[in-house]
Structure 1
Amino acid sequence: MDNIFLTDTLSDKELYLSMIGKTTDAILDAFNSSKAYTGPEPEELKKIIHMDSILPEKGIGFDAMFDLVKEKILPNMLRPSSTDYMPHLHSPALIESLSAEQIISAYNQSMDSWDQAPAATEIEVEVTKHLCKLYGYDDNADGVFTSGGSQSNQTAIILARDWFCNEILKHDVKKYGLPENYRKLRMYTSEISHFSMEKSAHILGLGYESVVKLPVDSRKKIDMDAFRKLLEKDIADGNIPFLAVATVGTTDFGSIDPIAEMKEICEKNNMWLHADAAYGSGVILSKEYSCRVADLMLCDSITVDFHKMFLLNISASAVLIKDGKDFDALTIHADYLNREEDEEDGYTNLVGKSLQTTRRFDALKVWTSFLMRGRNGWDEIISTSMKNAQYFHSVLVKDCGFAVVTEPEISSVVFRTVGKDLTGEENDEVNKKIRRILLHKHGIVVGQTISDERVCLKFTLLNPMVTSEKLDGLVSLIKKIAEEIRRAG
């Protein structure tokens, strides 16, 4: 079996170069439209993709296989780098992160032990140190990369639970499992927080009932008076508060919960404060707007996502912990992987901080993009996206044909078209149709969500290449489509 890996032999290098060259050419050829999506609707796409078998008795070789890739897949791929793409917290990928991904895939490092990823391990350690400093933590802090915001949140919730049980309840969860009164444990989070809160509670054996969903105010932030009252009631009922989660950039609205007020409550009640800043963590690099997330340093843990505002390719996330010793809750040693004797001699095995064993070298993407762009470059990227949201909001609120949910704090704008002669339900249907028409007739992908029981459209403006002229044109197009739908009845 010749030429199956990239090695130091000339023939392997030549084959790799040929395959990567053909792949690069095909990708460049497929970027033949400025639209976000030019593929068909679901049923037609299913027919295009379907094959009777993808495992023939005899392989068809690279060229024939890649012809199928060019025929079936590349023309129908989504293009998040298009300025017509704005539905989700799903960013375009900075061009240098594509270079980093090539290194990551070619070397295929596994981030669990030093002897599987020597330089990669040291880079991740270096990057997490700098991230902790960036968010205001001292030298006692630590962090680890994860698959995404959900896993970062889950990691933080596990550490919070173990810290609380060990330090406050004097019960060793790691050794003995959940305490007898575990059904009374409670964590508090916004009613519009990410679903990973409930999912984590389920995985931890606490159940959905342990998650107290706090009402939000008109700005979509946690109602602090309601938080205090619910907390007091839980304590009076014999429940055990152990954690509060501040969302720093809610998924739909980009709203930022009041961290300082939440910290006071947590300190008073011996609770851990976690910040789900998967969205809003990027704001720290904006000179003009960083004050909006300055209180992150008060939190005991922070979720940071780099495949959202930081514009790196999927996946890239991290969880930062104010007291790195709290990672001990996840540490277990195995003779075949992370031997204690090696760690005593200075070999760092990152598996001791991670829910995953095998992990990718995602820290490289942060390292390369931070160095390449610098603070000034990142300030321009982040600030531009936030200013775009402010501009778009200002246009919508002046137009009686639209209703806007709340002023953006980061870069998301949720709104709906409103026909005064239509009922709420009829307007809901108009907004649903607008999204589908934009997608399939114009190649423009926008989001849809619910606010106050009404269907809304959502622009998540992560792409700094979007201009005010572009936004003006989208407003005009949406108004035109809405009017056509209403006339058609």
Structure 2
Amino acid sequence: MLQNNLFLTSNVDDKNKFIDYVNRAANTIADSYTDSRAYSGLTPQELKELIKETPLLPESGIGFDSVLEKVKRIVLPNLLKVSSTDYMAHLHSPPLMESLISELILATGNQSMDSWDQAPIATEIEVDVINQLCEIYNLPKDSDGIFTSGGTQSNLMGITMARDWFCNTKLDHDVKLLGLPQEYNKFRLYTSEVSHFSVEKSAHLLGLGYNSVIKVPVTNDQKMNTEILRDLIIKDLESGFLPVAIIGTVGTTDYGSIDDLETLSEICQEFGIWLHADAAYGSGLILSQTYKEKISHISKCDSITVDFHKMFLLPISCGAFFLKDKTNFSHLTLHADYLNREEDEEEGYTNLVGKSMQTTRRFDALKVWMLFQSLGKKSLSDTIDKTLNNANYFYKMVDSNPNFQVVTKPEISSVVFRYSTNKLSDDQVDTINKRIRRELIHRDGIVIGQTIFDGRVFLKLTLLNPLVEHKHLDNLINVILEKSNYN
């Protein structure tokens, strides 16, 4: 027998129950923040044992109170506290308070962004937000965009658009209707050797394969070497290959390096190639009054990936994809009588599914809409500037310390470094750095990243939290040196 008060409705009892649930959940969540540690320290094995006691689907439900109590005991204490100043590991931001409320609203409303009649006001807000974001990124009036789940989906869309545009304009071939052309195994996509793995993943999903992706060497500052890129394109053309797109990175995952979009645009113009910018990380710089010139050439790109759940400090997931020429969205458009009827669109009803790879899609535009208006340009700029200033400070501290080795000066807010000493072999130093990271997680509740550079193990900070102060960074250096046993 179903219980009463299942949903939030206009009924007074339903409203009261909703308010009660939200208040109790909010209090339980807030009470779980008992210290500044980023993580409780439990190992994978300990977490598995903790979860074992709870069957997923009991014969009879145990009720909200009992479930909330289990969440309080098992889940909340062991969640990663991404708002902690001790969390500095990944492109995984602490969500700003205002955006948590927008999540509650969009989850409660549960709008589906595929058709206007499933999301009337949500559709109109997303269209308006996209239009204003196009202006913020200095895109032309014929540009357009769509909200996505994040960088991987946006990059897939960008490479899909590049492939179909190339086939239509260069080969007079309609991929949407006919599938891949016979020449598909000659297609080439160029990206730096430190770009995001979603480029290769996209090539696989699009039927082009990993071998179509040419990984271009980088300079010492971890940017795509444009001279080598140009030579590779010329050699490929001479060998009968078909250059389709260049994928420039605006903030590589490890180093935060920004490829030279101006030169990449010139190369694309010279050879008739599509330019996609993976700006999932660095797109937030557009809001900085101090650092926005770092990405001033992003408007030259044919397509752009933006993530709002990174530098913009919004909850996962919230991304967007932009096209300089909105007519290229036609590569995705397909009409269905039950969803996006052409007659409705002719009368002014916007059905966003025609621009998206997703059908059911969340009203994530609300998070941007509420946050931007709540904080405004000055606060958002100051927030982003703080993270870049922190990265520069940490870089100077470790670069000047003989106990550390640093890869490159940060361009955004990531620093790749490691404890190093000539008293030990490289293999021994690798082992020490691995141990340091594990001990930080499980003994100190401090979470930092780890990566590989030049075949060796390095540690990584990705500083997105504006609450991090120099004292936190100084403390981290001291703790690492203490754990190295060779300070």
Which range, TM-score by smaller chain?
over 0.9
- Distance in 2, matches of 1:179 and 1:127, equals 37
* TM-score normalised over the length of structure 2: 0.98
Tell me which residue corresponds to 1:430. Answer: 432
1:399-438 alignment runs, 5 A limit: 399-438=401-440
1:347 equivalent among 346, 349, 352: 349
Letter in 2 for 1:256: I
The answer on 1:27 being equivalent to 2:29 is yes
Runs of 4+ in 1 over 4 A off after TM superposition: none
The answer on 1:84 being equivalent to 2:86 is yes
1:41 equivalent among 40, 43, 58: 43
Deviations 1:374-401 (A, max 9, x none): 1101110011100100111011111000
Tell me which residue corresponds to 2:212. Answer: 210
- Distance in 1, matches of 2:162 and 2:53, equals 48
Letter in 2 for 1:463: N
Letter in 2 for 1:364: L
* TM-score normalised over the length of structure 1: 0.98
Tell me which residue corresponds to 1:283. Answer: 285
Classify the secondary structure of the residue corresponding to 1:181.
Answer: helix
Tell me which residue corresponds to 2:195. Answer: 193
Letter in 2 for 1:128: I
Q: Which runs of 5+ in 2 are unaligned?
A: none
Classify the secondary structure of the residue corresponding to 2:182.
Answer: coil
- Distance in 2, matches of 1:76 and 1:275, equals 36
Letter in 1 for 2:202: S
Q: Structure 1 residue 370: deviation in Å?
A: 0.6
Tell me which residue corresponds to 2:125. Answer: 123
1:315 equivalent among 310, 314, 317: 317
Distance 1:427 1:51, change over 3 A: same
Kindly tell me the number of residue pairs found equivalent between the two proteins: 485
Q: Structure 1 residue 224: deviation in Å?
A: 1.3
Tell me which residue corresponds to 1:461. Answer: 463
Tell me which residue corresponds to 2:152. Answer: 150
Q: Structure 1 residue 33: deviation in Å?
A: 1.2
Deviations 1:425-448 (A, max 9, x none): 110001000000111111000000
- Distance in 2, matches of 1:169 and 1:400, equals 57
Letter in 1 for 2:130: T
- Distance in 1, matches of 2:467 and 2:142, equals 39
Tell me which residue corresponds to 1:364. Answer: 366
Mapped contact 2:437–2:459 kept (Cα < 8 A):
yes
- Distance in 2, matches of 1:143 and 1:440, equals 42
Q: Structure 1 residue 75: deviation in Å?
A: 0.9
Mapped contact 2:41–2:444 kept (Cα < 8 A):
no
Tell me which residue corresponds to 1:274. Answer: 276
Q: Structure 1 residue 39: deviation in Å?
A: 4.1
- Give the % identical residues: 54
- Distance in 1, matches of 2:232 and 2:140, equals 33
Tell me which residue corresponds to 2:102. Answer: 100
Tell me which residue corresponds to 2:335. Answer: 333
Q: Structure 1 residue 70: deviation in Å?
A: 1.0
1:254 equivalent among 247, 256, 275: 256
2:139 equivalent among 137, 140, 145: 137
Tell me which residue corresponds to 1:440. Answer: 442
Letter in 2 for 1:298: K
Tell me which residue corresponds to 1:220. Answer: 222
Letter in 2 for 1:468: H
Letter in 1 for 2:409: E
Classify the secondary structure of the residue corresponding to 2:188.
Answer: strand
- Distance in 2, matches of 1:59 and 1:467, equals 46
Deviations 1:200-244 (A, max 9, x none): 000000000110000101000011121111111111110000100
Mapped contact 1:135–1:284 kept (Cα < 8 A):
yes
Deviations 1:268-290 (A, max 9, x none): 11100000000000011111111
Q: Structure 1 residue 324: deviation in Å?
A: 0.6
- Distance in 2, matches of 1:52 and 1:469, equals 41
Letter in 2 for 1:21: N
Letter in 2 for 1:144: I
Mapped contact 1:49–1:73 kept (Cα < 8 A):
no
- Distance in 1, matches of 2:355 and 2:403, equals 51
Q: Structure 1 residue 40: deviation in Å?
A: 1.1
- Distance in 2, matches of 1:416 and 1:23, equals 41
2:14 equivalent among 12, 15, 18: 12
Mapped contact 2:204–2:210 kept (Cα < 8 A):
yes
Mapped contact 1:150–1:196 kept (Cα < 8 A):
yes
Q: Structure 1 residue 53: deviation in Å?
A: 2.2
1:161 equivalent among 153, 160, 163: 163
Classify the secondary structure of the residue corresponding to 2:251.
Answer: coil
Q: Structure 1 residue 191: deviation in Å?
A: 0.6
The answer on 1:75 being equivalent to 2:57 is no
Tell me which residue corresponds to 2:303. Answer: 301
Q: Which runs of 5+ in 1 are unaligned?
A: none
Deviations 1:152-180 (A, max 9, x none): 00011111111111011111111111111
- Distance in 2, matches of 1:168 and 1:373, equals 46
Mapped contact 1:4–1:12 kept (Cα < 8 A):
yes
Mapped contact 1:168–1:270 kept (Cα < 8 A):
no
Mapped contact 1:39–1:75 kept (Cα < 8 A):
no
Letter in 2 for 1:175: L
- Distance in 2, matches of 1:369 and 1:252, equals 27
Tell me which residue corresponds to 1:398. Answer: 400
Letter in 2 for 1:49: I
Letter in 2 for 1:315: S
- Distance in 1, matches of 2:457 and 2:6, equals 52
- Distance in 2, matches of 1:57 and 1:137, equals 56
- Distance in 2, matches of 1:380 and 1:426, equals 41
Tell me which residue corresponds to 1:478. Answer: 480
Q: Structure 1 residue 455: deviation in Å?
A: 0.4
